[in-house]
Structure 1
Amino acid sequence: MTEGATQPVLRATLEDVARAAGVSLATVDRVVNRREGVRAKTVARVEAAVAKLGYRADLAAARLARGQTFRFAFVLPTGSNSFMTNLSEQVARTADWLAGHRGFIDIHHVDVFDPDVLARALENLSPAYQGVAVIALDHPRVRAAIDELVARGVAVVTLVSDAPSSSRVHYVGIDNPAAGRTAATLMGRFLAGREGTVAVIAGSLSLRDHTERQFGFHQILSSEYASLSALPVIEGRDDSDRTRDLTAALLARHADLRGIYCCGAGNRGIADALEASGRAREVVWITHELTEHTRRFLVRGTLDAVINQDAGHEARSAARVLLAHCSGEPISPDQERIRIDIFLRDNLP
């Protein structure tokens, strides 16, 4: 080693703790794993050695020693929704990380807009799964399927869209009412006192994230921007062709249409309809999720703002929460909080 080079920092082992405390390895193992049968003075000595050496348990190694593995199912939507495609890719990448922690992921694609199809998919999952992450519909049939899984000892995490009255152990996603309020504030400020109507396009009001976003949007628009009135919510099922037709009809019917807020997907359809109408630079358009398509629409000037959630963070968070729950380990709430990002053309990453 050259002069002035720093010594590598080695992780303390159970053997190091046993040597420092002057006890056997078996005694240290009992203390660290909170098992009974060790005298209080010995426990204190071991804990002092743990603190002095900065010992942290290697949980993956412990699972390996016990021959313990976990298998998780991620139930994601079918279709061409760009954000969901990105989320699926991020889950696949997370699977590589999770495998090093003795956890394994299978991805199942189903029609999450249909409560019967989604519920059947959950009901028919293999009993080999210890945990499930699902894009949830807040529907009685789906809630019942989640509750049945939990009753069987399966940890269930809702991902992106929640079913809060179910027995799920954690929700991984943004604060959707806050996201909707943020979109309304941006809309009101972009329109700067202009009078007219604003359209709200959801994928499905059966998806709680879409419902909560439009609720937050209406909450702010109606209370703080009296010159603007929101039209009834329409549902495009996150399908670009369907959403294009709906948007074209809105533009034809409402000469005073000043803004469009899309709280779901189908953005390629909205862009096509706006460009075809010749009103793309006149109508303020705000949507969700930064994808290759919404990025292009922002740069082009067709789209004004994107409310984003980090798909990679959500995939990793869902895996961490499931692993922690099945291992009996604590989670860090701050680490698992999914933040709301706002992207304009000027701050694209």
Structure 2
Amino acid sequence: MPATRKTIARRAGVSVATVDRVLRDPQAVRPQTAARVQLALASLRDERASRGRPAKLTSFRIAFVLPQIHSRFLDQVERDIALSASFFREHRVTSSFYRRDFTSQRGTSTFAEQMTDYDALVLVPLDYPWVDRFIEDLNDSGVPVVTVFSDLPGSRRAAYIGVDSRIAGRTAGLLMGRFLGERIGTVAVLSGSSRLHDQVERRTGFSQVLEEDFRNLRLVAEPDFAEDDDGAGLAIQGLVASQPDLAGVYVTGGGILGIAAALQESGDNTRFVLIGHGCTAETRKQLAEHAIDVILDQDTRGIVHWAGLAAVNFLNDVRGALPIPTQETRIYLRENAHA
């Protein structure tokens, strides 16, 4: 039986609220009650071990979980997870994959109970309070969660694997300012989802650099911008019309292909500096055609690999044995678009 709060409470003969207090602060309840809860938790863990899940396993079951949102980048991550199956088998990991709607609090709670059958999770989290609780419940059940690509730094996740998104945003801001030089005008920051922490961090880092070093540029933020190409193309046309001094556009998430295509069709692409994320065959082509000026990228497959290995590291309780390299942001321009 998975060691959820309900099963611990049933085994200890106490309420779920009491279990919650013991797990958060054992001093908050009577010592006898805390001991009963701890004994119930230990017995449930022993049962899991007797079903083939001892503390020191030769193989692990790890679930990779992505949010069910429209994102070309997450679609690429999904492909990279699938293509990494043989890599994980070599490291005695059996990987499973899920796309999940985290907008429902009840659905997320139910999903947490299903995930306790795994040894660890690798998660791209959305910034909801119940996702924090989802991570906490799994952690309490002995299932470490490694966040990947986007972080929830205030949660009880075991580790984060990915680039520093604020630094990536600051890099984009520096490049935007250098490209525009002394030009006076407006720069728009377009973000696909405010529930993805990495996009919030990119937007923050970008605005910090413009405020610190490029006072000639006025910032306009457009959160929850359309990430599909058609919607992004229509939205940029409206933005151009409302901001006659528009000089640059920074796209923190998806939609840059639609934006570049719309600007090319209107003949306005030479007026703007366009910077975004995700080096693909399509964005490389638009870099070469000067429809996009800069693409920032990351080693998606490598990050997937390191996230799985980090999860194994926590399961083996050898946190210092597998040093995780600092993930770097790659910069692509027209000159190295096909490098």
Is 1:135 equivalent to 2:124 in the alignment?
A: yes
Distance 1:68 1:334 in 2: 20
User: Which residue in the other structure is 2:298 paired with?
Assistant: 309
What are the residue-to-residue correspondences of 1:129-208 with 2, within 5 Å? 129-208=118-197
Deviation at 1:107, TM superposition (A): 0.8
Count of aligned positions? 285
| Letter paired with 1:338 | Q
Distance 2:174 2:105 in 1: 36
User: Which residue in the other structure is 1:89 paired with?
Assistant: 79
Mark the structure with the bigger radius of gyration. Answer: 1
Query: Which has the larger displacement, 200-209 or 334-343?
Result: 334-343
User: Which residue in the other structure is 1:276 paired with?
Assistant: 265
In the superposition, relative to structure 1, how do residues 181 and 154 fare at CA in structure 2: closer, same or farther (>3 Å)? Answer: same
Is 1:318 equivalent to 2:318 in the alignment?
A: no
In the superposition, relative to structure 1, how do residues 315 and 245 fare at CA in structure 2: closer, same or farther (>3 Å)? Answer: same
In the superposition, relative to structure 1, how do residues 336 and 123 fare at CA in structure 2: closer, same or farther (>3 Å)? Answer: same
Distance 1:245 1:118 in 2: 34
Q: CA RMSD in A?
A: 2.3
CA deviations 1:232-281 (Å, max 9, x no partner) are: 33322533233222211101211110000001112222123212322112
Distance 2:124 2:274 in 1: 26
Deviation at 1:320, TM superposition (A): 0.6
In the superposition, relative to structure 1, how do residues 267 and 151 fare at CA in structure 2: closer, same or farther (>3 Å)? Answer: same
| Letter paired with 1:228 | L
SS in 2 for 1:260: strand
8 A Cα contact 1:288 1:306, kept in partner:
yes
Distance 1:182 1:131 in 2: 33
Deviation at 1:82, TM superposition (A): 3.2
Name which structure has the greater RCO, CA cutoff 8 Å, separation 6+.
2
Query: Which has the larger displacement, 264-273 or 74-83?
Result: 74-83
8 A Cα contact 1:111 1:117, kept in partner:
no
8 A Cα contact 2:226 2:235, kept in partner:
no
CA deviations 1:19-73 (Å, max 9, x no partner) are: xxxxxxxxxxxxxxxxxxxxxxxxxxxxxxxxxxxxxxxxxxxx9xx87321111
CA deviations 1:286-310 (Å, max 9, x no partner) are: 0011112211211111100011111
TM-score by length of 1: 0.76
Distance 2:282 2:95 in 1: 28
**Which runs of 5 or more residues in structure 1 are unaligned?**
1-62
Q: 2:97 aligns with which of 78, 103, 107?
A: 107
Q: 1:242 aligns with which of 207, 226, 231?
A: 231
Query: Which has the larger displacement, 229-238 or 146-155?
Result: 229-238
In the superposition, relative to structure 1, how do residues 116 and 267 fare at CA in structure 2: closer, same or farther (>3 Å)? Answer: farther
Distance 1:166 1:74 in 2: 18
| Letter paired with 2:145 | V
**Which runs of 5 or more residues in structure 2 are unaligned?**
1-52
| Letter paired with 2:237 | A
TM-score by length of 2: 0.78
Deviation at 1:120, TM superposition (A): 4.7
User: Which residue in the other structure is 1:291 paired with?
Assistant: 280
